[in-house]
Amino acid sequence: MTQGARHVAIIMDGNGRWAKKRLLPRVAGHKAGVEAVRTIVRAAGDMGLEALTLYAFSSENWKRPEEEVNDLMGLMKRFILSDLDEFAANDVKLKVIGNWRALAPDVVALIDNALERTSGNKRTTLAVALNYGAQDELVRAARAAAAGGAITAEAIEAHLDTADMPPLDLLIRTSGEVRLSNFLLWQSAYAELYFTDKLWPDFAPADLKAALDQFARRERRYGGL
């Protein structure tokens, strides 16, 4: 049985290829990707999603050139600063998952402020994965479960970064790649997967609606008949 999706996650892939196709520097692709984020966050609320989780910066992304990492961090800071008022106006609650407190102190302070300012918003939760890796998340959750006395599936799930969010219904990956890339491994156990060749900067509300429409047509059995 399938009903409308409550929680959608997106692996936002293809910024670099988008820029390369246009003979632009990679940072231009990342800037275009930020604009796509803004558009999709607005659309998610309009389409009734309770939660949207975006893979913004993985724990493996530190392997990229220092200049690109700095560009990504700068864009992320500007996005938070410029969009806080819009989050408030649209009742969007910001959440950050991953080991984000290991980021630079100015980034951590900025995130803390944004989390506090949006904590009372209720329409849609926007979870941004920063310095995130699902294997690291599972290690942290297992340690917390063990500290509580028992390592069970329920105990691990209670200590995941997404524990206070609805179960993941649909995971989307753009750019034609077909893998999870260490993203929401536990949460994806029974999520529906949707892959599109669209590069992330080109991913529009119509593409999100197409993914949600396909999700609504699927039958979810959770291992049953």
What amino acid positions are annotated as catalytic residues? 13, 61
Helix (H) or strand (E) holding 214: helix 205-217
Can you give the C-alpha Rg of the chain in angstroms? Answer: 17
The closest alpha carbon to 5, from 101, 148, 140, 124, belongs to: 124
The closest alpha carbon to 46, from 91, 83, 2, belongs to: 91
Q: How many CB atoms lie within 10 A of CB 222?
A: 7
- CA 145 to CA 150: how far, in whole Å? 6
